[in-house]
Amino acid sequence: MHACRSNTFKLHVVVPPNTTATVRVPGAKVGDVKEGGGPAVKARGVGSFQNVEDGSEFDVGSGSYQFSAPYGR
């Protein structure tokens, strides 16, 4: 995970075969999060999602993901 000078939070996630994971993106609402350049809510492998108190959560299946969101607004 890292934030860069472009004010974008970036997170690369690899989920092993036959497993699932919950990915938490801090400080961003579900609708502001991208995966692979498109809306995370429509990304292949992303199941359920929700806004939480300090950001958003995405349940994902096995695979590789590139999440990004505005940071430090």
Query: pLDDT per residue over 1-53, tens digit each?
Result: 554 557 899 999 999 999 999 999 999 999 999 999 999 999 999 999 999 99
* Cα gap 58→72, rounded to integer Å: 20
DSSP state of 73: -
Q: For the whole model, what pTM was predicted?
A: 0.88
Give the residue-averaged pLDDT of 42-67.
Answer: 97
Residue where the block lists tokens 């690369």: 12
Contact (Cβ atoms closer than 8 angstroms) between residue 28 and residue 69: yes
64, with CB counted inside 10 A (0-12, 13-18, 19+), is: exposed
Residue 3, pLDDT score: 46
* Confidence band for 73, pLDDT divided at 50, 70 and 90: low
* Cα gap 56→52, rounded to integer Å: 5
Topology, domain 2-70: Maltose phosphorylase, domain 3 (2.60.420)
